[in-house]
Amino acid sequence: MLEVEGVLYTFPSSVLEYFNAWVDTYTDNLSERCDKTQNYHADVFLIASEEVAWNVAGFLLAWRITLAPQIGRVEFSAGCSKYVLEKGKETSLTLQFLQDQVDILAKGKPVT
């Protein structure tokens, strides 16, 4: 299995920029809410909509990577859920992912 950073150099530079921004968002939140407070049980995202926005951005980025000719599939994790993104399964997997995000919003609190 390849790590995403190892293949991103073959993509347009904007893909790497978006990936880095996505990772930085999580890292910054983790630092601010957990590391600085020494509360490692704290949620990384304060509200469910923050987490869902981060999940959706990552999911769309993962699909961008998956649909490249040189990539077979990508495993994407959001909270406790894992999704194996493969060409030909775009609709069914996306519907499941979106339903999971609706469920997070309905609960009203982050799950990470």
Taking only the tens place, the pLDDT of each residue in 39-61 is 888 889 999 999 999 999 999 99
For the chain, the domains span 13-107
Is residue 68 within 8 Å of residue 74, measured between CB atoms? no
> For residue 5, what are the contacts with CB-CB under 8 A and spacing of at least 6?
19
Distance CA 79, CA 109 (A): 12
Taking only the tens place, the pLDDT of each residue in 16-40 is 999 999 999 999 999 998 888 998 8
